[in-house]
Amino acid sequence: MSEQWIYLNGEFVEKKDAKVSVYDHGFLYGDGVFEGIRVYEGNVFRLQEHLDRLYNSAKSIMLSIPHTKEEMKKLVVKTLQKNHLSNAYIRLVISRGVGNLGLDPASCSTPQVIIIAEELALFPKELYESGLEIVTVATRRNRPDVLSPKVKSLNYLNNILVKIEASLAGVSEALMLNDQGYVAEGSADNVFIVKGKELLTPPGYVGALEGITRNAIIEFARDLGYAVKEEPFTRHDVYVADEVFLTGTAAEVIAVVKVDGRVIGEGKPGKETKCLLETFRNRVVLEGEKVYKDTLK
């Protein structure tokens, strides 16, 4: 296998040499922001939206990214080119940088910029055919007034606890509720339920991240004639839905066939989920920011 090159603060270094200081506040305190992005057949999918979210997250935590969005687009493309990748998952990380042991970010002089690109399938291929079994976990979504779920920060402990609870229950993904008991989202994916030709997904204020895949699915579904509502729902609504599916950059679109032991629909990926997955697979290739292709011209 050829080497993997990581963009690290202005240069490309081999994966084995891509190291950051133990005094980096991203490491010490989860102080930083990140994005997960995908490139399909050379099209970086919705790069602008991902960068808008990244820069908004950074603004919210008063972290100044040392590049413009245009520069960042070019760096993403360069990382793909350097690694000869046209279908990949891209991880963009901006940490507060190296400081002292105190919490105060004023001790950190320069944010660190890291871009990793590699092939990634979050779940084995078979699970996209058979669908996932999931559970609801006790870990609640961060309250928006404590740490806004809109900030995609490096503090993902709450989501990691969800993963731990899921694997203790013998499944690979789980649903989190918000503090009022409404369904928020998965560990790193959004949730949709299907009732006939109607789709429902929790609104941002329930505590879900407004996922870029979620927003794309809302748009694609409306184009196909589905009614899509963003409104709160409970576990009961999930149990009695015709279909349930998850969306996310890493997960893409994946059917859920069992929740907390309740079989969803017929216990296999439903008609509407399959249709949306197929549409998603086609449109991500056709669409996207054609940045990568354009830069290659």
Q: Which residues bind ligand PMP (CB under 6 A)?
A: 36, 159, 185, 188-190, 209, 211-214, 247-249
In whole angstroms, the minimum distance from the beta carbon of 133 to ligand PMP comes to 20
In whole angstroms, the minimum distance from the beta carbon of 97 to ligand PMP comes to 23
170 φ/ψ sector (left φ>0, alpha ψ -120 to 50, else beta):
left
- Residue 283, number of CB atoms within 10 A of its CB: 17
Tokens for 232, please give them.
Answer: 């709160």
In whole angstroms, the minimum distance from the beta carbon of 140 to ligand PMP comes to 13
Instruction: Give the catalytic positions in this structure.
Output: 152
In whole angstroms, the minimum distance from the beta carbon of 188 to ligand PMP comes to 4
Tokens for 278, please give them.
Answer: 């197929």
Place of tokens 């694997």: 167
In whole angstroms, the minimum distance from the beta carbon of 212 to ligand PMP comes to 4
Our CB check for ligand PMP shows the closer of 209 and 244 to be 209
Place of tokens 């950059």: 249
Our CB check for ligand PMP shows the closer of 20 and 250 to be 250
282 φ/ψ sector (left φ>0, alpha ψ -120 to 50, else beta):
alpha
Terminal Cα-to-Cα distance of the chain (whole angstroms): 27
- Residues with Cβ within 8 Å of residue 163, at least 6 apart in sequence: 174, 187
Collapsing DSSP to helix, strand or coil, 278 comes out as: helix
Our CB check for ligand PMP shows the closer of 136 and 213 to be 213
Question: How many angstroms separate the CA atoms of 63 and 59, rounded?
Answer: 6
In whole angstroms, the minimum distance from the beta carbon of 11 to ligand PMP comes to 27
Our CB check for ligand PMP shows the closer of 50 and 96 to be 50
Our CB check for ligand PMP shows the closer of 31 and 185 to be 185
What b/e readout covers 57-82, taking b as 16+ CB neighbours within 10 angstroms? bbeebebebebeeeebbebbbbbbeb
Our CB check for ligand PMP shows the closer of 113 and 206 to be 206
Residue nearest to ligand PMP (CB): 211
Question: How many angstroms separate the CA atoms of 135 and 176, rounded?
Answer: 9
